[in-house]
Structure 1
Amino acid sequence: MSADYTSLRRIGNEFAKQLAKQNDHDGAKAIQAILRKRGVPLQASGYAEALPRDAASRLPLLEEGQWPTTPIMLNGEPGATISQFIDDAKHIDLLSEKGVSARLGLLLYGPPGTGKSLLAGHVAASLGRPFYIARLDSLISSRLGETAKNIRGVFEYVPAKKAVLFLDEMDAIAKVRDDRHELGELKRVVNTVLQGLDSLTDDVVTIAATNHPHLLDPAIWRRFPYKAEISLPDRDVRESLWLHFLYEGQEARRDEATLLAQVSDGLNGADIENIGLAARRRAILSGAEPALAKILLAVSGSRSGSARLIGNDDLDAQAKRTLSSFLSDKGGINQAEIARIIGVSRQMVNKYLKEVQDG
């Protein structure tokens, strides 16, 4: 008996992707949940793909990621860069033939929670290529010389797979080489990364991500012809995120999504996803959809990277006072609309705002 677990996962991922395109997101997630079990019986029988491993810990240096089914929503400029990158990657043979090909290297940078890892998975799915993830912070070994060896192992493994290599947490080892506070070993590691990138042929797709672009060596930047800053979502993207994660794409809820987008400036995509899904979980478990006021209160107490989840209790006077001030100040919403949202009279809203103003 023979089995090829890696091929099975790739076929499963393709099937999940097709289901997602047909808006069968539950079916796509169910298939991915099965694939995430990593086929323990097959692995135990030795049929899983042999990934390069750290000599000391014996942990894999790479993991094969799944093509995502969650949609990616981007602000305008980075979206154009990504589209061009994908188009060039799809036609790399033609571009090479004409002598105008560029290294297929894309650097994604920006604050945490903005979807850089998700975007890398979408690029792999768009190209129909396997998706290998190397978390560079996990490649660092305490044994002298092992970190550079691990990095070489990653760069030697991927080219034969016609895959997308995703170098996550790039700043973990690609720091400025003239930083006197870093050990000589780390400086050698940066050179190993540079050598690895230089060893790749034009048809190898490499995507790197960092939350701290200022830490990257300038030589690392030069190895990535395509660069995209993935910033916090703008108002239009926030509206799309709320509509998708909270209201499951129901156009009838567009007004609520617009309001939430208006007051959630400064939150990242992961924050909006967390609040939206938390509200839907509460709806399932309680049998009643959380009031818009509760969701807005969660937004008012959230900061980028620290989303506040929906509470179970009804809004007390203090919560209504806080929410009235938040909607008036950040949302620019009139008192009549605030009264409708939190379920009190306009006179009470006016009282709340005066109390906040008076301290």
Structure 2
Amino acid sequence: MNVDAPTLFKLFEAAISADYTTVRRIGGQLARKLAEEKDPEAAKALQALLRKRGVPLQASGYVEALPRDAGSRLPLVEEEQWPTTPLFLNEESSHTIEQFLEDAANISMLSEEGVSSRLGVLLYGAPGTGKSLLAGHIAAKLARPFYVARLDSVISSRLGETSKNIRSMFDFIPTKEAVLFLDEMDAIAKLRDDRHELGELKRVVNTVLQGLDSLTDDVIVIGATNHPHLLDPAIWRRFPYKVELRAPDEDVRAAMWLHFLYQDRDAEASHARLLARLSAAMSGAEIEGLSLAARRRSIINKQPPNLPHILLAIDAASDGVPRLPAGHELSPEERKRLARMLVDKGDLPQTEIAQMLGVSRQMVHRYLREEKDGE
């Protein structure tokens, strides 16, 4: 492979200046050139070398040169740690992600056969369904750095700066062999026929499209949005893998309650299944939050999780407020409400309901009768 003199000079200048970002960028260009010249082994060896973290530079005080907004000097992307929270997905979403991960792991083989595709994933769904968590898990599964776009820095009030920031972001990510996560993507990729927007929006969307088109097949971009209907159709076409994250189904909810509330104790599986049946209106994030709140109270009070209080919080989730009530004794009205809830939705016998509420079976029967007479 022949390397022209200007490229060689830039490489040495960057190395002497400890400009690790430029070293990796030029190295990536050389690796691609080796691959184009049918020397895949050398290309892979160079890419493996580029993936190293540059320990000597870090020891000498090197700080990674992130792209920044010219006005605020805030970084446009930030590297985040891989998540430690487990991921729970419905079967359909899980199948699509597994297929994507398999394709990403075999991109070199697919490229050699001429069937590679761009490694872009578009995640869409309601808030709290786990889009950000899933993006982090994809990076972890592929053992790639996880860079998250900071839209507060990318979007500028100055004319033309937003497009410039987007270009800088897309120029940066190929040098890192990383995953770039664009959350709330509708903020920079909105429908271009929106009559209420100015021409600046069209320029921004075009810049995003050009940035996506400029990436090589091995670069991974994950977009996410809570408002898929706002995205420009051209954006959809740039992402070959699309995953709709819906509210967790009953099996997933049961697994979440068992993990987050009961720490995977199999003896509590029946309670986890009951909670799953009753929490159909809750998102995964709400289940996790309520479980952890209940565990905190349990640890502080040195008592098992208070199931009736958790059930009241689930009942409140239908009003959008799934928080634990104060640790008070249940009132007759609360017991009555829970009895009806457990009969109608929990499908529990009255004897089991009585034991759960700390009353007699006759009292449960009375609650239900009073509830029926009051209708």
- Identify the TM-score tier after normalising by the shorter chain: 0.7 to 0.9
Q: Is the aligned partner of 1:133 residue 2:153?
A: no
Q: Is the aligned partner of 1:232 residue 2:273?
A: no
Alignment match of 1:332 (pick from 347, 356, 359)? 347
Deviations 1:190-231 (A, max 9, x none): 111111100110000111111111111100000000011110
Q: Is the aligned partner of 1:195 residue 2:210?
A: yes
Matches within 5 A, 1:279-298: 279-298=294-313
Deviations 1:247-303 (A, max 9, x none): 111111111111111111121111110111011111111121232111111111114
- Kept after mapping to 2: 8 A contact 1:279/1:310: no
- Kept after mapping to 2: 8 A contact 1:268/1:304: no
What amino acid is the match of 2:75? P
For structure 1, which runs of at least 5 residues remain unmatched after alignment? 7-41
- Kept after mapping to 1: 8 A contact 2:294/2:306: no
Q: Is the aligned partner of 1:246 residue 2:243?
A: no
Within 2, Cα distance between the matches of 1:185 and 1:144?
Answer: 7
Residue in structure 2 matched with residue 64 of structure 1 by the alignment: 79
Q: Is the aligned partner of 1:179 residue 2:179?
A: no
- Kept after mapping to 1: 8 A contact 2:298/2:306: no
Residue in structure 2 matched with residue 261 of structure 1 by the alignment: 276
Point out the structure with max Rg over C-alpha. 2
Deviations 1:155-174 (A, max 9, x none): 11110100001110011121
Residue in structure 2 matched with residue 20 of structure 1 by the alignment: none
Change (3 A) 1:174 1:234: same
Residue in structure 2 matched with residue 205 of structure 1 by the alignment: 220
- Kept after mapping to 2: 8 A contact 1:274/1:309: no
Q: Is the aligned partner of 1:105 residue 2:120?
A: yes
TM-score norm. by structure 2 comes to 0.81
Within 1, Cα distance between the matches of 2:152 and 2:127?
Answer: 15
Aligned residues: 319
What amino acid is the match of 1:83? E
Q: Is the aligned partner of 1:143 residue 2:138?
A: no
Within 2, Cα distance between the matches of 1:200 and 1:280?
Answer: 45
- Kept after mapping to 2: 8 A contact 1:108/1:210: yes
Q: Secondary structure at the match of 1:301?
A: helix
Residue in structure 2 matched with residue 74 of structure 1 by the alignment: 89
Alignment match of 1:220 (pick from 235, 238, 245)? 235
Residue in structure 1 matched with residue 65 of structure 2 by the alignment: 50
Change (3 A) 1:177 1:288: same
Change (3 A) 1:116 1:355: same
Change (3 A) 1:319 1:284: same
Within 2, Cα distance between the matches of 1:195 and 1:80?
Answer: 30
Deviation at 1:304, TM superposition (A): 8.6
Q: Is the aligned partner of 1:165 residue 2:180?
A: yes
TM-score norm. by structure 1 comes to 0.85
Within 2, Cα distance between the matches of 1:222 and 1:293?
Answer: 48
- Kept after mapping to 2: 8 A contact 1:282/1:289: no
Residue in structure 2 matched with residue 347 of structure 1 by the alignment: 362
- Kept after mapping to 2: 8 A contact 1:112/1:305: no
Within 2, Cα distance between the matches of 1:83 and 1:101?
Answer: 16
Change (3 A) 1:321 1:305: closer
